[in-house]
Structure 1
Amino acid sequence: MPSFQPIEAPKCPRCGKSVYAAEERLAGGYVFHKNCFKCGMCNKSLDSTNCTEHERELYCKTCHGRKFGPKGYGFGTGAGTLSMDNGSQFLRENGDVPSVRNGARLEPRAIARAPEGEGCPRCGGYVYAAEQMLARGRSWHKECFKCGTCKKGLDSILCCEAPDKNIYCKGCYAKKFGPKGYGYGQGGGALQSDCYAHDDGAPQIRAAIDVDKIQARPGEGCPRCGGVVYAAEQKLSKGREWHKKCFNCKDCHKTLDSINASDGPDRDVYCRTCYGKKWGPHGYGFACGSGFLQTDGLTEDQISANRPFYNPDTTSIKARDGEGCPRCGGAVFAAEQQLSKGKVWHKKCYNCADCHRPLDSVLACDGPDGDIHCRACYGKLFGPKGFGYGHAPTLVSTSGESTIQFPDGRPLAGPKTSGGCPRCGFAVFAAEQMISKTRIWHKRCFYCSDCRKSLDSTNLNDGPDGDIYCRACYGRNFGPKGVGYGLGAGALTTF
């Protein structure tokens, strides 16, 4: 009768005892007990989301970074901090964290060697389908799929394939093969220039690329160096091909791309700042922010020489009577016309008649004198005078009484009818009528009989004499008299 041989259960790397299916936890290709699935340094309970296996020992992500992660400026908890914590507070008296617990010793697993170039790139053994990880087109063991420097466990997201045919985590890859210098640390503003602790410390010598070694035919090469530009390194700007190395600002040598490159009139390329200094407008409001004076880079003579001022003579081409610009009388063409009250003006002439401030369709005010004014000058010349009609409650009487004759606005001719306007007697049409107590008035005639204040339906008062008044004049003429009936309570009105 054949003897029964039970299947040997896998051993836990932490305690060395058998692990059965009901209590197993998987990490790094090894099977652990549920109670042994803890961090080897801080003894924190772990799960599949925060465990990191390193040489058959489990760590939480924080302790793994302390013990095996990169050190130096920028590798602390946040960018800009210096972390030199190596987890020494968790070490035992002998200075190490043993990977063997409870006296159990781990036996190394025997791996069958594969033919040259076919097995795992790290250990050279056969890789079976159940444990393979793919990188660079080759299969790796799951336990060998670690960073080549800090031994951190990797996956398809964290893995970086390096030029030396090895795999690294993102941090170690950046330190070993990434750019060096100011601004290339883990956080902006950090200086990254440390040599790798696991290397020999010798600086990497990078050969300078001589792009002008192969000269192109005249007018066909890179505009900066004159060398031939191949497709793998070309940058396009204004129909010309540049080397990637030469595609930088002519003044400050800042590296450019298709977004921040500006083509200058001298057929060279500039960054936006240098282009603005050299070719942009100068003067108040054209600096980095509004309210600054930008005169950097050019003298006044250079500015005048580069952009000479041209004052067009708008009176050189005269227009027919009543058709030209009201200010200068010259012909107005479509490219320069400005419209105001049915008249066409030159853009140069379209300014205030008094202060000569340039105007537009929002600021322009058509005066009764047939000219245009800004709002302030219009108010001084044609606006109401007296206390409270200035920009603040002040008394405005700039030059005494105005000498300008205002048009009356009443019809000067036409038939007078019995049903016409009570003030002028002429006929009232529907487009201009104002109604008061069953009587129809012209819009221009609809004002107070005493103070001539314009009225509307909200401040209209019909007097017993058949005329219309504002509230103040109506109270003065027809309201009660005596103490308390003035403009304010307690005032005596007897006029």
Structure 2
Amino acid sequence: MSFTGTQDKCTACDKTVHFIDLLTADGVPYHKTCFKCSHCKGILSMCSYSSMDGVLYCKTHFEQLFKETGSFSKKFTPGGKSSDKELARAPSKISSAFSGTQDKCAACQKTVYPLEKLTLEGESYHKSCFKCSHGGCILTTSSYAALNGVLYCKIHFGQLFMEKGSYNHMKKKSESQEALPDVVPDEQPAPPPQDENREDN
């Protein structure tokens, strides 16, 4: 009995694929070593690949491609620039929900993508940046308090008020989005008012 081999050709390199080295994805034959992401050239496995129109991607680059372009086209935009033809067409509702954004996180000043975005009081935040400026507690939309653009959890907000009896010593956001120190130096307390109706003996 003789082994005749296979007649399958690898889609990536167009060479004969021997049975021992054959990997079939979506009915298409590949050498195991040719089964790579078209963007990063990383070797893929059956559980780590995505494919669009016969082009292979690792899961990371497949998702990144969708975020950058708003669609699953075959190419990444070089340098993040779109062609004039792409700019002329209006994005669909779905693609605009996942495409790039100009929103910056009020806490870290980095881009906030729609899937990780919280918008409160006109400001955008990463979910991981939405935390108390005093204690670092993770906040929710129902557990935060804000004063002068600075976020606090309700517990620390109350504690800081009780310390001084006012909010004057709490952080304030400056023009450059940086916070000032927690406490403003105490002023000398005014002497208690003298009771004019008091009789001296």
TM-score of the two chains, using structure 2 as the length reference? 0.35
CA radius of gyration, larger in: 1
- The structure with higher relative contact order (CA 8 Å, sep 6+) is 2
Name the one with the larger helix percent: 2
